[in-house]
């Protein structure tokens, strides 16, 4: 692609570094910005910069936060003895949207993935183990994705907590609500039978 | 969508204003930026701001440019008496990429579209008409999209130039190279027969 302007070229190249945005899309976005009032682009540019430079991570759960301790951790109405362990900030948002969870979170920041060079020390695992060892935590719910990396991460933390008195559970795996059985994969369908729940419990959905 | 951070929310909202980027994609992009070094985000943010604030439009052809007059208009090896009239900056890039055109351009900045409230005065039409009336232009090639708005725009300019001595042509419409006839629409196929070209000319493709 040839640009008649270095300024455009630079803007396109920077935009195209974002995941899922190729050069063509980047150009479309940049040309759109050119048609917008300069203020609009200033707002965008400043919002991104400010977000990146001022964002804090909650001291306690490592969720993104505008304060030292996030709104969830500092909320007295949340159950501080029930911790849901997730990979990512997006998982916190997804679970919050269900309005089914009243505990607090612990964001690991990823999964153990030796192939990508991510070991336990790069994740927020130590702070979780210490928090549990300090006491006051009744249960850890692991809500990690059901992949080899996710399972490895859960197992690693499980081993670290050997001997510590805390209940450890994982979110239920099964057939998604509304899905048809015949299209479910065998592993999920198999697990959903082995881990069947009493009918009365299943009805307590919300 | 609920955000635990106002900074994130603002960044997502600004990103989601871009065309084709929804809230979910915006969030994915913003969270990606959070994982990047702060410098990377600074580069992006500054490139966008700089581009929007410092970009110039060529005085002569209205193409984007880093100088008062763009590289194409100021190139002595380009034929200044042959002007290709296009809607958009992207069209200039597309035609430049073919390396088949040695004239200069005139960027209208859009098409006449009364429904969207775009009249001739919002487009760079006057400067084109004046340029042609001043003399020195042998031919105008209209390379606008073949829609009602495109045709209206060409017709409007054509009328403005009545009595002015200049050759006016439009790019050829026809079956795309590599396309199969049976899938072509009737109008295009019909035109491609009416506007057939001598075989020897057709072979001079590049």
- Looking at residue B1, its pLDDT comes to 66
A146 contacts: CB under 8 Å, gap ≥ 6: A173
**Residues spanned by the domain of A25:** 6-54
Contacts A33 to B, Cβ<8 Å: 18, 48, 51-52
The verdict on a CB contact (< 8 Å) between B48 and A44 is: yes
pLDDT digits (tens, 9 = 90+) for B27-76: 999 989 988 888 999 999 999 999 999 988 999 999 988 889 999 999 99
Q: Report if residue B25 sits inside a domain.
A: yes
Determine contact: A71 vs chain B, CB below 8 A: yes
What pairs with residue A169 in β-bridges?
Answer: A141
Q: Report if residue B69 sits inside a domain.
A: no
Q: Report if residue B99 sits inside a domain.
A: yes
Q: What is the CATH number of the domain that holds A116?
A: 3.40.1360.10
Number of domains in chain A: 2
What is the sign of the dihedral through the CA atoms of A22, A24, A27 and A33?
negative
pLDDT digits (tens, 9 = 90+) for B182-201: 888 888 888 888 888 777 77
pLDDT at A100 over 90: no
- Looking at residue B205, its pLDDT comes to 55
pLDDT at A35 over 90: no
Q: Are residues B86 and B164 in the same domain?
A: yes
B52 vs A4, A17, A38: nearest CB: A38
Higher pLDDT, B143 or A202: B143
- Lowest-pLDDT range of A91-100, A175-184, B58-67: A175-184
Q: Are residues B139 and B83 in the same domain?
A: yes
- Looking at residue A204, its pLDDT comes to 67
- Looking at residue A108, its pLDDT comes to 95
The verdict on a CB contact (< 8 Å) between A64 and B2 is: no
pLDDT at B170 over 80: yes
- Looking at residue B98, its pLDDT comes to 86
Place A61 in a pLDDT band, splitting at 50, 70 and 90.
very high
CA distances from A158 to A65, A144, A151, A164, B191 (A): 27, 13, 10, 10, 72
**Cβ count near B93 (within 10 Å):** 19
Q: Report if residue B147 sits inside a domain.
A: yes
Percent of chain B with pLDDT over 70: 97
A38 vs B2, B43, B53: nearest CB: B53
Q: Report if residue A147 sits inside a domain.
A: yes
Q: Report if residue B185 sits inside a domain.
A: no
Q: Are residues B43 and B118 in the same domain?
A: no
- Looking at residue A1, its pLDDT comes to 66
Burial B173-182 (b: 16+ CB within 10 A, else e): ebbeeeeeee
The mean pLDDT of B127-143, rounded to a whole number, is 94
pLDDT at B206 over 80: no
Q: Look at the block and give the residue holding tokens 């106002």.
A: B6
pLDDT digits (tens, 9 = 90+) for B21-40: 999 899 999 989 988 888 99
Determine contact: A1 vs chain B, CB below 8 A: yes
- Looking at residue B41, its pLDDT comes to 94
The mean pLDDT of A17-29, rounded to a whole number, is 92
The verdict on a CB contact (< 8 Å) between B10 and A47 is: yes
Q: Are residues B113 and B166 in the same domain?
A: yes
Place B141 in a pLDDT band, splitting at 50, 70 and 90.
very high
Contacts B30 to A, Cβ<8 Å: 48, 51
Complex ipTM > 0.90? no
The verdict on a CB contact (< 8 Å) between B1 and A52 is: no
Q: What is the CATH number of the domain that holds B50?
A: 1.10.8.420
In this complex, how many residue pairs, one in chain A and one in chain B, have their CB atoms less than 8 Å apart? 170
């Amino acid at each position: 692609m040839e640009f008649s302007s270095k300024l455009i070229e630079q803007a396109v190249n920077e935009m195209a570094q974002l995941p899922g945005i190729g050069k063509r899309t980047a150009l479309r976005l940049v040309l759109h910005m050119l048609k917008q009032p300069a203020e609009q682009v200033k707002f965008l540019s400043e919002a991104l910069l400010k977000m990146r430079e001022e964002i804090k991570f909650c001291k306690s759960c490592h969720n993104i936060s505008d304060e030292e301790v996030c709104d969830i951790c500092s909320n007295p109405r949340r159950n501080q003895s029930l911790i849901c362990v997730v990979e990512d900030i997006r998982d916190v948002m997804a679970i919050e949207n269900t309005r089914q969870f009243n505990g607090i979170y612990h964001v690991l920041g990823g999964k153990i993935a030796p192939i990508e060079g991510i070991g336990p020390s790069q994740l927020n695992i130590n702070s979780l183990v210490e928090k549990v060892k300090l006491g006051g935590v009744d249960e850890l719910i692991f809500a990690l994705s059901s992949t080899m990396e996710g399972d490895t991460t859960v197992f690693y933390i499980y081993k670290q907590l050997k001997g510590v008195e805390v209940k450890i559970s994982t979110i239920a795996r099964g057939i998604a609500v509304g899905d048809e059985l015949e299209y479910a994969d065998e592993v999920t369908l198999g697990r959903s039978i082995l881990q069947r729940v009493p009918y009365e419990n299943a009805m307590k959905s919300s």
